[in-house]
Amino acid sequence: MTTQIKKRPRVPVHGVLLLDKPVGFSSNDALIKAKRFLNAMKAGHTGTLDPFATGLLPLCFGEATKFSQDLLEADKTYTTVVHLGVTTTTGDTEGDVLVQKPVDVTVSAIEQVLKQFNGPIKQVPPMYSALKRDGKPLYEYARAGVTLEREARDVTIHELELLDYQAPLLTLKVKCSKGTYVRVLGEDIGAALGCGAHLKELRRIQVGHLVLEKSITLESLESMPEQERLALLDPVDALLSSFPSVRLGDELATRFLHGQRLALGKEAVLLPERAGRVRVYRDSDGQLLGSAQLQEFQILAPERLINTQ
């Protein structure tokens, strides 16, 4: 007779966990583990890190998942080690070697080439990516030996800093816009240097205003008691802290939670000087109510609402 072990029921958990993703894990694998450690009902991550990459992976739980799109849109910062002289099928260490060339590159040449990639650039997405064509990810075509035409996309490299060069390894710091493939950036830098390249290491150190220094590893998370794990969660509004706040009295807060647009011109509500996205709180207890757009004529239009029950 076998004894079945009862699974603990999942519980509502709300907030943001900053995870330092280990190498070899997909973002979804890391999310599933963290979700199990917190015994959480609902969770999502905010932008995929490739399995070979490590670093900051913000995980959203419960009500925080409503605002995960904001981090998908945010700028990202990485440190990366580019292996010059070797190109691979995937642009990183997971692919097969295609071409090997000798590396005879000076620091001066590298600095000149890096200038070409600073600012707005065009970038062709890699075949080994999750972008879809006819409902199928590009990497499935690539694995079948099929190469499809891809349109170049506009991305922006805000910062591109040379940290170290010990041939053939080039260490860079990259701050870039959403949609940037650092793998492709490494390949393009290698091509411009005439020797080719692939990424040996990639570590994400910042997403928007969230930083790696405040993250925790899966190993550390697993070793903690459950209450200590829950105490690590940042509040839901950690994802919105870059937006100005608006505080509403109880009556206006109730109307806001019902999805009503509020004309605040004659109300005693302190408003930001500029229109745009805001985070909204109930003044009496500091409860986050959600996000909104402050429009012309001091109209507050609800955007995403928090379940305050």
Q: Which residues are catalytic?
A: 50
Contact call for residues 48 and 58 (beta carbons, < 8 A): no
Task: Name the residue type at position 16.
Answer: V
**Nearest CA among 35, 18, 3 for reference residue 239:** 18
Task: Name the residue type at position 237.
Answer: D
Residues 35 and 32: their CA atoms lie apart, in Å, by: 5
Contact call for residues 190 and 98 (beta carbons, < 8 A): no
**Burial tier of 80 (Cβ tally within 10 Å: 0-12, 13-18, 19+):** buried
Task: Name the residue type at position 206.
Answer: Q
Phi and psi for 115 in degrees, rounded to 5?
A: -60, -30
Tokens of 277: 């996205």
Residues 35 and 185: their CA atoms lie apart, in Å, by: 33
Tokens of 232: 């690590």
* Helix-then-strand count for the chain, H and E: 8, 19
Task: Name the residue type at position 146.
Answer: V
Handedness of CA 40, 46, 51, 53 (dihedral sign): negative
